[in-house]
Amino acid sequence: MSEIQETIAKIRRRNMSDPEALKYLFEAIRLLEKEDFAEAHRQNMDVRRLSAQNLKQTGNYKFLELNKRSLLFDAPYDFDAYCRYIEWNRPREKKFYEPRRSVLKVVVNDLQDLADGKLDFLGVSLPPRVGKSTLCIFFMTWIMGKRPDVASVMSGHSDKLTDGFYRELLSIITDKETYLWNDVFPGVKLTDTSAKNETIDLNKKKRFPTMTCRSISGTLTGAVEIGSGGVLYVDDIIEDLEESLNPARLQAKYDAYLNQLKDRKKLGAVELMVGTRWNVADVLGRVHEQYDDNERYRFRVIPALDENGESNFNYKYNLGFTTAYYQDMKESIDDATWNAKYMGTPYVRDGLLFPEDELLTYNGVLPDGDPEKIAVCDVAWGGGDSLAMPFAYKYGDAIYIHDVIFNQGDKTVTYPVVIGRTKQHMPHHERFEANNGGAEYADHVDDELRKTGYHINITSRKAPNNQSKLARIIQFAPDIKKFYFLDEKHRNKEYRAFMREVTTFVQTGKNLHDDAPDSLAMLADEIFHGRPEVTVFRRPF
């Protein structure tokens, strides 16, 4: 243990509710930074926690000053601390970040990973007016202060949008009464600005300025560069729903993104893309499709409503949006706009095989009588695919999908779920798809059920190898549309996710996942074509 670490250990034995003792601890931690940077900033979190805790208990403003100094110590390296510190002087109800922190902290963590080189690309989709663009503008001012000699670019669909970026960046850097940016980066100086070119240069004037704001339709090739350690920030590259429904315009926008923005990145530059997910074929959607399995690409979506139908953005000081607001908005606009702008789900009108408004629904109350109960299971082993298992209750010709299992866990997670739900529903027959180990999965389920005294007719059958999944789903689509599904009000989180995959499945283009509709095709095959019919008749002799 070094001399500084021994000093810290001695101070920690003192009463940390004494502001002088906590101050000595902080000063010792500052000295430790040169010796062990990571450990010093880790221990600084204790100073921040204790100073906030003691301030609340005692009201001693010496703790408030310590809390501020602790934030400043971390701010050049920790984005969350930066966001909190630069607004220190603002009234609570006028601050941007603090009232929204409980929701936006997960995005702040994503941006931290992007800055630290853990990610090459971050995609963010949140509802309108919840703070996503402002948070990202905060991020870009942080990057500019950290790396003033590295060129970054902010782009969007229009000059008006990028002019707004330029003005907000400049406001944070120059408005010393509102923002404490200069405290965080005291050695960084504003050298040059150009409202005409929408550029900001720090420390020295350069061919490629510290920040250039330029629309996708503006002059980009040869005029901008994203240096190593710089950020290409693209916000709302698709202007609106109308543009998203025009394949030619979508392709042109994607080509412009590739040829005017992405190809301006030098090795070591990273990318931040924010936007409404209008269409599976929009720019963000195509990037997602290409890099879905790449761990250095992350796609963050926070919908307006959570799985229980409650608002995710009910911020402090009435700055957010209530559940009632979002429910009213949902009822006031069409499904395409609601799903894209508010739920982060790209909605495709053309090519949908199972549009929500074409499906039959019921309120969760089953008809009287004794139904035949059938379940099928499309087995998955994790890795992004979902085990999909609908449970059907058949009353004559009417078929009700009364429950589903839709789970991305591996077999250790899904085995007990499948076994438990089978015991709950007691289907007369269960069929498992035998491909890729499905037969072994079925055998395990059967063995476990028998051990506990449950005897279910379980079979497994391989999917035909002469027919694609898409062809099978299309073949059974008319039968699937005869099923009754739980209405939205009575769906749980799992059922909602299952139906989201069903209702966004397209018959033209690529689907990221098709487990839910494929399980329904398997169910339709089992009900209508999979089992021989037995007819009871009187012996003729």
What's the CATH code of the domain at 247?
3.40.50
Clarify whether residues 422 and 518 are in a common domain: yes
Clarify whether residues 209 and 291 are in a common domain: yes
Given pLDDT bands bounded at 50, 70 and 90, which one contains residue 454? very high
Residue 381 lies in a domain: yes
Of the two residues 352 and 423, the one the predictor is more confident about is: 423
pLDDT value of residue 249: 82
Question: Of the residues 74, 104, 137, which one is the last residue of a structural domain?
Answer: 74
Clarify whether residues 303 and 405 are in a common domain: no
Clarify whether residues 117 and 194 are in a common domain: yes
Residue with tokens 């994203």: 226
Q: What phi and psi values does residue 496 have, to the nearest 5 degrees?
A: -65, -45
Clarify whether residues 465 and 417 are in a common domain: yes
Residue 351 lies in a domain: no
Q: What's the mean pLDDT in 372-400? A: 93
Residues 479-513 pLDDT 10s:
999 999 999 889 998 998 899 889 888 876 667 68
CB 362 within 8 A of CB 486: yes
Per the prediction, the chain carries an average pLDDT of 91
| Domain carrying residue 455 | 356-530
Question: Of the residues 58, 74, 90, which one is the last residue of a structural domain?
Answer: 74
Q: Which of 16-25, 228-237, 378-387, 524-533 has the lowest mean pLDDT?
A: 524-533
pTM over 0.85: no
Question: Of the residues 329, 344, 379, which one is the last residue of a structural domain?
Answer: 329
pLDDT value of residue 222: 61
Clarify whether residues 186 and 325 are in a common domain: yes
Q: What phi and psi values does residue 483 have, to the nearest 5 degrees?
A: -70, 150
Residues 354-375 pLDDT 10s:
988 899 999 999 999 999 999 9
Clarify whether residues 371 and 478 are in a common domain: yes
Residues 122-146 pLDDT 10s:
999 999 999 999 999 999 999 999 9
Residue 62 lies in a domain: yes
Residue 1 lies in a domain: yes
pLDDT value of residue 276: 86
pLDDT value of residue 540: 55
Clarify whether residues 363 and 309 are in a common domain: no
Label each residue of 276-322 as H, E or C.
CCCCCCCHHHHHHHHHCCCCCEEEEECCCECCCCCECCCCHHHCCCC
Smallest Cα–Cα separation from 285: which of 253, 263, 261? 253
Residue 209 lies in a domain: yes
Structural domain tally of the chain?
3
Clarify whether residues 29 and 94 are in a common domain: no
Residue 371 lies in a domain: yes
Clarify whether residues 124 and 21 are in a common domain: no
Clarify whether residues 306 and 370 are in a common domain: no
